[in-house]
């Protein structure tokens, strides 16, 4: 497959609510590779005809951000490097993309064979960008930011609410005397506990019963709480009441499901609260050096996409015609 045939549709998960049925329709019969994260859905296919079939099956496809050819490759490279994430340069997304590809390619089909060589190049280029312009960026993950907020050596247990993708990226970073895991599906919480113990065998980790009462009881005893679930008007008032009823003082709440809607909600005025929006505000205040590194990384992604458009084995421009292609890249 030539790079010119590569097609990508990008949906911002905060603006589009794609259901599991939508995702199944988009990737029907292995005609599209669907990558779904907590922030976005990316659909990868080959050829305009395939993209048109997705448009026919998916009503909101016409409103997606679309890329073709080298532009599609550049987007996927920025995506894999974490440059499309709200937490710019975050590292977890690459692992999610690799796992998504592993699952997709495990079911043999024409598209997986067409994409395979380009995906391997994508993984190679991602590692090179991360080892180059992003190498000294420092830890850029939701887990590392949460750990920085909470600090080390809390005087009591930390409660983690949720067991989805976001919770899986945060949990291994939490330094606490005991990690309490609650999720409305206890099976998923048990699986999260298994992942935590694999990475941190010495970490004390306890899975709570899935009842609302068990969660609220944990709020009254926790030193800190991390929420990786959306805001819930019905439950939040109870959670806040339980937090305020604690016998201990201090502590932090990091709510990664709470955006700019914190004002005017039950959470307004809660002492010790850090919302997802506040977390992003703190990151935006980081040094100019970080911004410079991100700019260089984005340019590196664009340059690699141009090189790949010259041929899968291209590593440098060879002639004046090739060099001219780089003139379109913004500095």
Token pair 């796992």 is at which residue? Answer: 99
> Which of 8-17, 162-171, 206-215 shows the lowest per-residue confidence on average (mean pLDDT)?
8-17
Query: Tell me: the pLDDT tens digits for 75-115?
Result: 999 999 988 887 777 778 898 999 999 999 998 889 999 99
User: Above 70 in pLDDT, residue 258?
Assistant: yes
List of domains in the chain: 3-137+291-328 (3.30.460.30), 142-283 (3.40.50.720)
**By the 8 A CB rule, do 30 and 109 touch?**
yes
Among 15-24, 120-129, 300-309, 315-324, top mean pLDDT goes to 120-129
> Which of 22-26, 136-140, 233-237, 239-243 shows the lowest per-residue confidence on average (mean pLDDT)?
136-140
Question: Tokens in use for 326?
Answer: 């780089």
The average confidence (pLDDT) of the chain is 84
Query: Tell me: the pLDDT tens digits for 173-205?
Result: 888 889 999 999 999 999 999 989 888 888 889
Query: Tell me: the pLDDT tens digits for 21-35?
Result: 877 777 776 789 999
% of the chain with per-residue pLDDT over 90: 40
Running DSSP on this structure, what letter comes out for residue 250? -
pTM, two decimals, is 0.59
Q: Hey, what long-range contacts does 188-193 have (CB within 8 A, 24 or more apart)?
A: 188/163, 188/164, 189/163, 191/163, 192/163, 192/167, 192/168
Furthest-apart CA atoms within the chain: distance in Å = 72
How would you class 203 by CB atoms within 10 Å of its CB: exposed for 0-12, middle for 13-18, buried for 19 or more?
middle
pLDDT, greater one: 167 or 13:
167
Query: Tell me: the pLDDT tens digits for 209-236?
Result: 999 999 999 999 999 999 999 888 889 9
User: Above 70 in pLDDT, residue 287?
Assistant: no
Nearest-10 crossing angle of helices 288-309, 110-131: 140
| Whole-number pLDDT of residue 140 | 57
* Per-residue b or e along 298-324, where b marks 16 or more CB atoms closer than 10 Å to that residue's CB: bebbbbbbbbbbbeeeeeebeeeebee
Q: CA 285, CA 289: separation in Å to the nearest integer?
A: 11
């Amino acid at each position: 497959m030539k790079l010119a045939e590569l097609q990508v549709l990008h949906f911002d998960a905060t603006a589009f609510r794609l259901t599991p049925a939508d995702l199944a329709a988009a990737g029907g019969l292995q005609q599209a590779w669907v990558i779904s994260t907590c922030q976005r859905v990316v659909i990868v296919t080959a050829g305009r005809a395939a993209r048109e079939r997705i448009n026919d099956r998916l009503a909101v496809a016409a409103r997606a951000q679309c890329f073709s050819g080298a532009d599609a490759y550049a987007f996927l490279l920025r995506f894999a490097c974490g440059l499309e994430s709200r937490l710019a340069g975050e590292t977890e997304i690459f692992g999610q993309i690799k796992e998504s590809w592993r699952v997709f390619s495990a079911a043999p089909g024409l598209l997986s064979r067409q994409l395979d060589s380009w995906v391997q190049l994508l993984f190679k280029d991602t590692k090179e960008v991360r080892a180059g312009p992003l190498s000294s960026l420092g830890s850029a993950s939701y887990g590392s930011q949460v750990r920085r907020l909470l600090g080390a050596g809390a005087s009591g247990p930390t409660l983690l609410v949720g067991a989805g993708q976001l919770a899986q990226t945060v949990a291994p970073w939490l330094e606490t005397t005991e990690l309490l895991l609650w999720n409305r599906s206890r099976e998923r919480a048990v699986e999260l506990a298994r992942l935590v113990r694999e990475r941190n065998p010495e970490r004390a980790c306890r899975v709570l019963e899935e009842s609302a009462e068990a969660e609220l009881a944990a709020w009254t005893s926790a030193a800190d709480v991390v929420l990786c679930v959306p805001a819930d008007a019905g439950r939040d008032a109870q959670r806040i009441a339980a937090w305020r009823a604690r016998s201990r003082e201090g502590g932090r709440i990091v709510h990664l499901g709470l955006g700019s809607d914190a004002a005017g909600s039950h959470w307004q005025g809660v002492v010790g609260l850090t919302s997802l929006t506040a977390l992003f505000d703190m990151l935006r205040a980081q040094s100019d050096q970080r911004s410079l590194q991100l700019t260089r990384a984005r340019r590196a992604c664009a340059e690699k996409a141009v090189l790949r458009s010259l041929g899968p084995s291209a590593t440098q421009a060879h002639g004046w015609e090739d060099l001219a292609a780089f003139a379109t890249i913004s500095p």
